[in-house]
Amino acid sequence: MYLIPHILLLVFVAFVATIQSLVQDFCVADLSLPDGPAGYPCKKSVTENDFVYHGLAAPGNTTNIINAAVTPAFSPQFPGVNGLGLSIARLDLAAGGVIPLHTHPAGSEILVVIQGTICAGFISSFENVIYFKTLNKGDVMVFPQGLLHFQLNSGNGPALGFVSFSSSNPGLQITDFALFKNDFPTELVAKTTFLDVAQIKKLKGVLGGKN
Ligand SMILES: *[C@@H]1O[C@H](CO)[C@@H](O)[C@H](O)[C@H]1NC(C)=O
C-alpha cells in the first residue's frame, strides 16, 4: 500500500538531485577559448578575484581625436561577467569630448552621470526620431539595444559617467570609424552615403582610413 508513494519519493529525490547538478551559478570566461553566441566557455577553477575588476578605477586617456575614452569591463576584460547578461564601462569626457555616434549590437545601455554635464541621445530605428537630453550629476538615461546613440561633454570641465549594458559583451561600432577608419573604397562610401568625395577623403585622413 505504501510501496508506490515510496517509489515516487525516490524518483522525486533523484529528479531534484539531477536538476541541482545542472544548476550553474556562474561561468567565468575562459579567454583562451573562442567566444561564441552564448559567450565564452567556462573557466575550470575560479577565485574571488575573477569576480572583481580594478580597470575602471583610473580615468581613461582622453588625449585623442575625440577627447574622450571608453574603458570597457566586458567579458574580454572582466571574465566574471561572462554569461550573466550584464557588463559596465567607464566614460571619461574631457572638455569638448565626444563619444561619436555608435551602436552596441548586443545590448541596451544605461548611463549614470557622476560628474559634469553630458548631452546624450539616440535615434530610433522606426522613423529615425532623435531623442536627446542634457544630463547632470546623478541623472540616468537609457539607450535601447542596437540604436545609434552618442554622448558629448556639454559642460566646461571634465565629465565622468558609467554605463551598464544588458549583455556581458555588447560590442561597439562607431559609425565614423566604420566609414572612414578602414579601407572601404572612397567611391563606395560616396555612393552608399551620398557624401562628397572631398569630405570622405578628409575624414579618412583624420581617422586613418585608406583607399
Ligand atoms: C595618453 O595618450 C597620448 C596619445 O596616445 C600619449 O601621448 C600619452 O602619453 C598618454 N598618457 C598617458 C598618461 O598614458
Q: What tens digit of pLDDT does each residue of 129-171 get?
A: 999 999 999 999 999 999 999 999 999 999 999 999 999 999 9
Q: Is residue 72 part of a domain?
A: yes
Tell me: pLDDT of 189 over 70: yes
Judgement on whether residues 190 and 97 belong to the same structural domain of the protein: no
Q: Please tell me the distance between residue 98's alpha carbon and the centre of ligand 1 in angstroms.
A: 18
Main-chain phi, psi angles of 42, to 5 degrees:
-85, 140
Residue 80: which CATH number?
Answer: 2.60.120.10
Judgement on whether residues 159 and 84 belong to the same structural domain of the protein: yes
Tell me: pLDDT of 202 over 60: yes
- Ligand 1 neighbourhood includes 63 CB (under 6 angstroms): yes
Q: Is residue 184 part of a domain?
A: yes
Q: Which residue has the higher pLDDT, 160 or 21?
A: 160
Number of domains in the chain: 2
- Ligand 1 neighbourhood includes 128 CB (under 6 angstroms): no
Tell me: pLDDT of 21 over 60: no
69-80 pLDDT tens trace:
999 999 999 999
Task: Determine the structural domain holding residue 193 and report its residue range.
Answer: 178-207
Which mutation among 61, 64, 71 tests ligand 1's pocket best, with the greatest number of atoms within 8 A of CB? 61
Judgement on whether residues 91 and 165 belong to the same structural domain of the protein: yes
Q: Please tell me the distance between residue 61's alpha carbon and the centre of ligand 1 in angstroms.
A: 6
- Which residues sit opposite 68 in a β-bridge? 93
Judgement on whether residues 137 and 188 belong to the same structural domain of the protein: no
String of DSSP letters for 93-122: E-TT-EEEEEE-TT--EEEEEEES-EEEEE
Judgement on whether residues 149 and 190 belong to the same structural domain of the protein: no
Tell me: pLDDT of 206 over 70: yes
Q: Please tell me the distance between residue 26's alpha carbon and the centre of ligand 1 in angstroms.
A: 37
- Ligand 1 neighbourhood includes 61 CB (under 6 angstroms): yes
Closest CA to 145 of 119, 173, 117: 173
Q: How far apart are the C-alpha atoms of 105 and 170, rounded to whole Å? A: 6
Mean pLDDT of the chain: 92
Q: Is residue 132 part of a domain?
A: yes
Provide mean pLDDT across the span 58-62.
Answer: 97
Q: Known binding site for Mn(2+): residues?
A: 102, 104, 109, 149
- What residue has cell string 559596465? 88
Judgement on whether residues 191 and 133 belong to the same structural domain of the protein: no
Under the banding of pLDDT at 50, 70 and 90, the label for residue 15 is low
pTM of the model: 0.85
Judgement on whether residues 71 and 155 belong to the same structural domain of the protein: yes
